[in-house]
Amino acid sequence: MTSNTAVVDTAGCTVEQPGPGLVVCRYKAAAHVDGRTVRETLAARMSLPGSSPHTVVTIFPADATFEMSLFDRDIYQEAPVVAMTRALAFVVQNDLMESMVNLYFAYHPTRLAKQVFQTETEALDWARRQVGLPG
């Protein structure tokens, strides 16, 4: 993280803006990802500087748990979120998390570019390419 990186810390997630058009949402160890946590993370994203859509890299720790009610609502169709999102990358630590992300988007298809990765490096390289930055 550089000194000009914008950072917003919430109870369940640290949201960073390491460069133009790029946001990293790093869920904390043992995070319970539920509606409240997601709303806080989205609010943190929306509070970052700039008005152009960004590519978002969301990183889930291996011990994160997910509230099944997250499947009830399509957060990527809400006007402010979709207007500020160019593409989505998810970093998962195991097959179950990958299945959860894929299942969410099976229930709630999106036109946004999205990809699931096993490593943060791969996800950040992909995200940088989405915003025209060198990998």
CATH code assigned at 64: 3.30.750.24
What is residue 79's predicted lDDT score, i.e. its pLDDT?
A: 76
Its pTM stands at 0.92
Residue 1 domain flag? no
CA distances from 118 to 21, 53, 60 (A): 22, 24, 10
Sign of the Cα pseudo-torsion (20, 131, 129, 98, in order)? positive
Interval 14-66: pLDDT, tens: 999 998 899 999 999 999 999 999 999 999 999 998 888 999 999 999 999 99
Amino acid at 62: A
Dist CA 131 CA 134 (whole Å): 9
Structural contact between residues 93 and 61, judged by C-beta atoms closer than 8 angstroms: yes
What is residue 4's predicted lDDT score, i.e. its pLDDT?
A: 75
Residue 125 domain flag? yes
Only one residue has tokens 């997910």, namely 66
Residue 112 domain flag? yes
Dist CA 116 CA 49 (whole Å): 26
Structural contact between residues 10 and 45, judged by C-beta atoms closer than 8 angstroms: no
Residue 126 domain flag? yes
Mean pLDDT of the region 101-110: 94
Taking all residues of the chain, what is their mean pLDDT, rounded to a whole number? 92
Residue 135 domain flag? no
- Domain extent, residue 37, equals 6-130
Burial of 42 (0-12, 13-18, 19+ CB in 10 A): buried
